[in-house]
Amino acid sequence: MGAFGIIKNLAKLRLAYKFEFFGSLIFSVLWVVLLAVIWKSVFFFSNLESIKGFTLQDLVFYYIIIQLIRFGTDVDISYRVEQLVRYGNFIPLLLKPLSFPAFCFLDDLSEKLVNIFLKIIPTFLVFVILFGLPPFTLSSFFFGIISSILAYLLMFLIDFMLSTLIFFTKSSHGILDFVQTGMHLIDGILFPLIFLPENVYSGLLYLPFPYLSYFPALVFLNKADFLQVLGFQLGWLLLFLPISFFLWKISLKRIEGVGI
Amino acid sequence: MKRELKVLWRFFRIRLEEEMVYRLNFLLLLSSFVIHDLFGPVLTIVVYQVSKGFPGWSFWEALVLQASAIIVEELWFFFGSRVLFELERAIASGKFDFYLARPLSPLFLLFSSSCFPYGLFTLFVGIFILGYALPNLPITLISLLFYLLFLGSGFLFLLSLTILFSSISVFVVRNRPLRNAMFMLILYGKYPTNIFPKVFRIIFTFILPISLIAYFPAKAVLGKLFGVSSLIPFSISVLFFVISLLSWKVAIKRYSSAGG
């Protein structure tokens, strides 16, 4: 079975839980509505036209785009690997004629493909009905998509590296939660990072986290230099790719199981 | 009551021991909950850094609001947040019958057996922020006493909502949407009610009083609630509690176990 066949079968499995998707749709719409209400009151009370280049409309669309990007880039491979190892279902996957990292990638990719049809497009349509069309240009939309794909690959590698921790610790969901929650504090889902004090903001630019959703969202809104963002994203990918393979190799040496 | 406290203490110790089997994991999970608690205060700090903030709330007052939300939410996190999840598992597996057969209130057993020890520790995040903000505000002893009363009513409201949703859960079993709704309501309750449109202000005060989570406690400690009318929100939380208990009684009477 080729890669496409694997993706197709895994996508079918995920479609079994389609009603779960409606829950996340409602959740993200309510989250954006809450943030829109908060910032609307702030803008009116302070009599502001814009904050650091963001009008109220820009901010609302920023949050909408962040939500849509997250549907396409959130990866939970590390949780799945932890469950597989903990309940002893990991070894059979090693015996399959496909490398485990490749399986993880295809598995996650199948989820993202399902997400496009069940999460991203329906949520986008609901947002368009509520807030109107986002201010995309054809080029910013195209560049935004490329930046989001790279953000997904980056996120996948970060999560895959985290997933190898299970082979070194007895229980890894503490560290997974810690990293992921910490990441959300500085990846731009709460507010545009430029709202932070300047020294904090410039420090964050040297970390990979703003390139997971903050900068891709700015690229969509035509508020960031696409080539610069692309350069940083590719740089982080080139750094993380060999580290991921290295971690996977040393993890393999630690795996113990019947028949190995 | 003594017996109930003893049971709760036993369950707390068991849950804590379970969680502390992996010490590092426990500390990291605790840290991730602390970071999660900081989302609201960080957003508030950023809002006040880039604008005049929320209408009718100074910076320190807004911090008191956030601290109150954390305190109420964490109390519920300790005693109530896992109830719906446990109930779903218990009903689906048929173990809910054990709750009904024991010589204690099934509702109390459900709440105490699903207590989540992290909440008692993360409660200190709210207390710390409160201790940081309160010295900058003119607080009286009476307003502090009022504050404790309103924090209690906020907690009572969340307990009532959990009981109400548990009653629904007895019929529908799969309650994930209810759990999501619970978290969304808490999220909306963390911000000043006066920033919402008028219709929602009425709903959030009298029909679904999420204002009790942070808005009214913060108003109480700041001495902004006057006269008998200030007791209306408190009365609503008591009324809500009575209704939720009635709904639970109805649900238990109709519960037919696995045999139908």
ipTM of the complex: 0.88
Domain spans, chain A: 3-254
pLDDT band at A125 (very low <50, low <70, confident <90, very high): very high
Which residues of chain B fall short of a pLDDT of 70? 229, 258-260
Percent helix, percent strand, percent coil in chain B, to nearest 5: 80, 0, 20
- pLDDT higher than threshold 90 for residue A152: yes
Q: Chain B contact for A23, CB < 8 A?
A: yes
Calculate how close chain A gets to B201, using CA atoms only, in Å.
12
Q: Of the ranges A85-99, A236-250, B97-111, B204-218, which one carries the lowest mean pLDDT score? A: A85-99
Calculate how close chain A gets to B188, using CA atoms only, in Å.
7
- For A111-164, the DSSP string reads HHHHHIIIIIHHHHHHHHHHH------HHHHHHHHHHHHHHHHHHHHHHHHHHG
Mean pLDDT for the stretch of residues A245-251: 90
**Whose CA is closest to B73, among B44, B34, B107, B104?**
B34
Calculate how close chain B gets to A45, using CA atoms only, in Å.
6
Q: Chain A contact for B185, CB < 8 A?
A: no
What pLDDT sits at residue B151? 94
Q: Contact A191/B28, CB-based, under 8 Å?
A: no
Nearest residue in B to A48, CA atom: B51
Q: Chain B contact for A200, CB < 8 A?
A: no
**Whose CA is closest to A57, among A43, A74, A45?**
A43
Of the candidates A40, A51, A177, which has its C-beta nearest B50's C-beta? A51
Candidates B26, B31, B50, B186, partner chain A, best to mutate (most A CBs within 10 A): B50
Q: Contact B29/A182, CB-based, under 8 Å?
A: no
pLDDT band at A10 (very low <50, low <70, confident <90, very high): low
Q: Contact A173/B47, CB-based, under 8 Å?
A: no
Calculate how close chain B gets to A42, using CA atoms only, in Å.
6
Q: Contact B22/A174, CB-based, under 8 Å?
A: yes
Residues B68, B151: contact at Cβ < 8 Å?
A: yes
Q: Contact B32/A191, CB-based, under 8 Å?
A: no
Residues B165, B248: contact at Cβ < 8 Å?
A: no
The SS3 call for residue B34 is helix
B179: Cβ contacts below 8 Å, ≥ 6 apart = B84, B85, B165
Residue A185, token pair as written in the block: 């504090």
What pLDDT sits at residue B245? 95
pLDDT band at A258 (very low <50, low <70, confident <90, very high): low
Task: Report the number of secondary-structure helices (H) and strands (E) in chain A.
Answer: 12, 2
Residues A181, B34: contact at Cβ < 8 Å?
A: no
Residues B135, B187: contact at Cβ < 8 Å?
A: no
On chain B, the residues whose CB falls within 8 A of the CB of A33 are none
Mean pLDDT for the stretch of residues A29-49: 94
Residue B115, token pair as written in the block: 């207590």
On chain A, the residues whose CB falls within 8 A of the CB of B50 are 51-52, 195
Of the candidates B43, B54, B176, which has its C-beta nearest A41's C-beta? B54
**Whose CA is closest to B60, among B123, B131, B152, B125?**
B131
The SS3 call for residue B133 is helix
Distance CA B43, CA B21 (A): 34
What pLDDT sits at residue A252? 83
Q: Of the ranges A180-184, A219-223, B225-229, which one carries the lowest mean pLDDT score? A: B225-229
Q: Contact A45/B55, CB-based, under 8 Å?
A: yes
Distance CA B67, CA A195 (A): 22
What pLDDT sits at residue A11? 65
Could you read off the pLDDT of B142-187 as tens digits, one per residue?
899 989 999 999 999 999 999 999 999 888 877 788 888 899 999 9
> What torsion do the CA atoms of A246, A252, A253, A255 make, to the nearest 10 degrees?
150
Calculate how close chain A gets to B172, using CA atoms only, in Å.
15
Of the candidates A45, A52, A185, which has its C-beta nearest B38's C-beta? A185
What pLDDT sits at residue B257? 74
- H helices present in A16-120, as ranges: 18-46, 56-73, 77-86, 91-94, 100-115
Calculate how close chain A gets to B227, using CA atoms only, in Å.
28
Q: Is A174 exposed, middle or buried (0-12, 13-18, 19+ CB in 10 A)?
A: buried
**Whose CA is closest to B64, among B147, B145, B146?**
B147
